[in-house]
Structures are given as structure tokens and as C-alpha cells.
């Protein structure tokens, strides 16, 4: 079985998450970019190259 998890940001700061409303270090921009004008995504994470895998912790 192949590992099918893709590389993604490790942050998801709120239910109504969008990529441009939070930085990788968890800080919030004073003036966020209008996500609908740049990426046109909502409640989706950003796939990144060369980053860590974003997969759930095993139960236990």
C-alpha cells in the first residue's frame, strides 16, 4: 500500500480556514490578501514542495 499523504502546511487555525489568513508561524497578517482573488480556495490547505507530510497522529 502506498503512502498517499501529500506535503502540506502544518497549520489550520480556524474552521473557516483559508491559506492567506495565517502565516506559517501562526501569526495573522494585519491586512490579509483577498484569497478569492489570488487562489480562489476556501477550507483547503496549500500543497507545498519539500515540506513535511501533514498526516494524522496514530491513535494511542
**33 close to 18: Cβ distance less than 8 angstroms:** no
Question: Cα separation of 53 and 60, whole Å?
Answer: 20
**29 close to 21: Cβ distance less than 8 angstroms:** yes
pLDDT value for 56: 56
For the chain, give every domain's residue range. 1-50
**9 close to 49: Cβ distance less than 8 angstroms:** no
pLDDT value for 36: 82
Q: Is the pTM of this model over 0.75?
A: no
For the chain (60 residues), the mean pLDDT of every run of 10, in chain order, is: 71 82 88 82 72 56
Grid-cell match 501569526, residue found: 27
| Residue 34 grid coordinates | 483577498
Amino acid at each position: 500500500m502506498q503512502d498517499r499523504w501529500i506535503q502540506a502546511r502544518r497549520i489550520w487555525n480556524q474552521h473557516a480556514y483559508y491559506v492567506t489568513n495565517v502565516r506559517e508561524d501562526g501569526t495573522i497578517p494585519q491586512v490579509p490578501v483577498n484569497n478569492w482573488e489570488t487562489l480562489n480556495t476556501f477550507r483547503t490547505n496549500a500543497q507545498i514542495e519539500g515540506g513535511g507530510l501533514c498526516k494524522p497522529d496514530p491513535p494511542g
